[in-house]
Structure 1
């Protein structure tokens, strides 16, 4: 039995802790805040409750596997999973609206044909077939296996099989997401549908690789799910599974140094000077982890570098407590697409707020999230520059941008402003305080492509030190965090020969 110290109680860290504990190890989690879950938080007031992190779950199989491997109760006995339908509703700048059925290619094709015109659905359906090919090519190396030592092969070729496009005397294939929109989808609204998905993951739609097509495919193929009581209930269930496996949690414990002995990780030192020995240490984001290991580079010249987290954007979340009942048949999620797509791009290129942001409107039909049937809780989310790229502490800044988000959301929920009892605005500064991520940035998922997104491996140059969570392989997002925990547990239990689940 090994002693294992885990830094942070995020979803990836807890997934690793539960798996390591069931393998017979003694696991202690040190969390600097007073609660678990990382970015998966909940805000509560006056009988209203709001998810302030992810609003929906994709790839629930990741957490089903975690619960199967760590105890007798399956996931569905620990949380209530509801497949939302429609998967999403979209409101475009020209006033066109479309609701997309959940996990139904035929239903999506028919809905798009009816809303956008004949042929639109077929083009989107054909795109999903090509996106599936990109998914099949990249699923194992990017999600299910430790990062290859020859990881650069993942950057050598675009895995998305673009349709040949003849331009003047040259024939080209899409290597950027926006090229798929203009060359293959050939409809500004379909392009917004595609690029809006990338934006929601914190990716610049203007430069995102074509392989980002796997993101809408993932949601289409495996569905989108609501957790009764909110996504925070998933974090609670994982935390309780850890406790069942006798994982120990120490809250309010900030790790300030990784202890080294004989050239390997040997424990952690906490603020206040207390030291805790360990045979293995599972760390947090690689960028921040470097500050805990004095005088040592955790990644060499041949590794994916641990780059600054704040080179990615963050999110503003507006929690709205509304008077009046949720109307029957309202979509759980509505995407209100920006009238000016250049505004969304400016946040990446110039670190400025878009005047007309793309806004996600989440309206869960869940009695646990509202005081009674005569009220409704709504969450608005927009991708924005991180707190190091924009001064979110400036007086009036957060409130003014929240006003713009509410105005945009009113295109999806008429009369929204008149129904607001109160609101809570959360910026990247709140994310930074809760997760420690530099600037409150949010990690994107890994993508293979010549200009894709790769995160540092779960192993480091210091023997015995591993990393789990959204800033490590395979990147951000709830399912990816769970996968990182599985990879770290496999590497510790089985050793460097571990090649992922079969």
Structure 2
């Protein structure tokens, strides 16, 4: 039985802690804030309740597997999972609207044909078939296995089977999402639908590799899910599973260093000078934080994947509305930017802020979230990391855009609260409130994440800033990988 110190109580760290504890190890979690869950926080006021982090759960099988492997009580007995249908409603720049059924290729094709015109659905359906090939080629190395030592193979090979595009005397294949939209989908609204999956992760579709097609494919194939009471309930359930497996938690415990003895990790140093010795250390923190904790010791070696700083964060606006949620309202509506170029230049270039950005509107059908005859609504838009703390001018723009999805919004508004990148930084410790992106193949490896193992024996990394990257499913997968590497050793090759 080994002693294991876990730094941070984000979702990756919690899943690793639960798996390691059930394997018979003594696990202690040290979290600098006063609660668990990382970005999965909750804000409550006057009977209203809001998720301030992710609001929907893709690929719930990751957490189902966690609960099966850590005890007899399944996930569904600890939280109420609801499949969201329609999966999403989209309001495009030209005013066209479409609602897409959850996990139904035939239903999506029919809906797109009806809303966007004949052949639109077929083009999207054919695209999903090709996206499945990319998923099949990358699923195991990017999600289920430790990062390959020869990771350059993933960096160089584009897994998406692009359709040849002939222009003048040259034949080319799409290498980015933007080129897939222009050459294969050939409709600005389908392009907006495709690119929104990358944009939601803070990725610029003009340079994001074609391999990112796995993002819309995951949603199409495995559906979109909501946890009744909000996704904070998922964090609660995982935390309680850790407690049931005798994981120790120390909140308000600021780790100031990783202790080393004999050239390997040997515990953690805490503010105030105390030390917690351990046989293994699992760090669920951002790369900059890890560098500070390890001081002079290099964590990554020559030829390894280096941490890539994320440039994007989130602005979240929480709305308390008078009046009940109208029957038949979509859970999620994406209001697309009126000027795609202006939005991308504002996010990823030096242009001024776009007053009409893409905004995601979440309106859960959940009476737990608001007083009777009232509604809780959450608005989210991608913003640059390190956005100023107030975000007041952008907040007004976001509310204005949301009125396209919520008629009469301002007349119903009782009050609103804003969560900026500074709040994300406070909750997660990530510099500037940056949000990590999922690992993706191709693009020279710039969207891969460092291995869960490090140059320091006994020190492992977990969570969105390490393989396989950002997102709730990916965090859970990283926890499974770290547990496997510690329990089985370097020969661990992932789930079979």
Same fold (TM over 0.5): yes
Deviation at 1:350, TM superposition (A): 2.4
What residue is the counterpart of 1:416 in the other structure?
A: 409
What residue is the counterpart of 1:27 in the other structure?
A: 27
Deviation at 1:345, TM superposition (A): 1.0
Can you list the C-alpha shifts for 1:367-422, whole angstroms capped at 9, x where unaligned? Answer: 111111x10000000000001xx4x13xxx51211110010010011111111100
The worse-fitting range, judged by mean Cα deviation, of 349-358 and 176-185 is 349-358
What residue is the counterpart of 1:323 in the other structure?
A: 322
Kept in 2, the 8 Å contact 1:468–1:485? The answer is yes
Mapping 1:86-485, distance limit 5 Å: 86-283=86-283, 284-307=285-308, 309=309, 311-346=310-345, 347-350=347-350, 352-372=352-372, 374-387=373-386, 390=387, 392-393=388-389, 397-451=390-444, 453-485=447-479
Deviation at 1:197, TM superposition (A): 1.1
TM-score by length of 2: 0.98
Kept in 2, the 8 Å contact 1:353–1:385? The answer is no
SS at match of 2:138: helix
Distance 2:182 2:447 in 1: 22
Distance 1:436 1:170 in 2: 48
Deviation at 1:287, TM superposition (A): 3.1
Distance 1:272 1:420 in 2: 46
Kept in 2, the 8 Å contact 1:286–1:467? The answer is no
Can you list the C-alpha shifts for 1:156-206, whole angstroms capped at 9, x where unaligned? Answer: 111100001001111111110000000000000000000111100111122
Measured at CA, do residues 351 and 229 of structure 1 come closer, stay the same or move farther in structure 2, by a change above 3 Å?
A: farther
Deviation at 1:7, TM superposition (A): 0.2
What residue is the counterpart of 2:50 in the other structure?
A: 50
Can you list the C-alpha shifts for 1:228-264, whole angstroms capped at 9, x where unaligned? Answer: 0000000000000000000000000010000000000
Q: Which runs of 5+ in 1 are unaligned?
A: none
Measured at CA, do residues 303 and 351 of structure 1 come closer, stay the same or move farther in structure 2, by a change above 3 Å?
A: farther
Deviation at 1:351, TM superposition (A): 7.4
Distance 1:457 1:247 in 2: 25
SS at match of 2:423: helix
Can you list the C-alpha shifts for 1:420-459, whole angstroms capped at 9, x where unaligned? Answer: 1000001000000110001000000000013451011000
Deviation at 1:352, TM superposition (A): 4.9
SS at match of 2:298: coil
Distance 1:54 1:449 in 2: 27
Measured at CA, do residues 26 and 38 of structure 1 come closer, stay the same or move farther in structure 2, by a change above 3 Å?
A: same
Deviation at 1:288, TM superposition (A): 1.8
TM-score by length of 1: 0.97
Can you list the C-alpha shifts for 1:35-68, whole angstroms capped at 9, x where unaligned? Answer: 0000011111011001111110000000000000
Q: Which runs of 5+ in 2 are unaligned?
A: none
Kept in 2, the 8 Å contact 1:266–1:278? The answer is yes
Can you list the C-alpha shifts for 1:8-33, whole angstroms capped at 9, x where unaligned? Answer: 00000000000000000000000000
The worse-fitting range, judged by mean Cα deviation, of 287-296 and 149-158 is 287-296
**TM-align CA RMSD:** 0.9
SS at match of 1:259: strand
Kept in 2, the 8 Å contact 1:351–1:385? The answer is no
SS at match of 1:453: coil
SS at match of 1:148: coil
Can you list the C-alpha shifts for 1:128-154, whole angstroms capped at 9, x where unaligned? Answer: 000000000000000000000000110
Aligned length: 493
Deviation at 1:304, TM superposition (A): 0.5
Runs of 4+ residues over 4 Å off in structure 1: none
Can you list the C-alpha shifts for 1:452-488, whole angstroms capped at 9, x where unaligned? Answer: 5101100010000000000000000000000000000
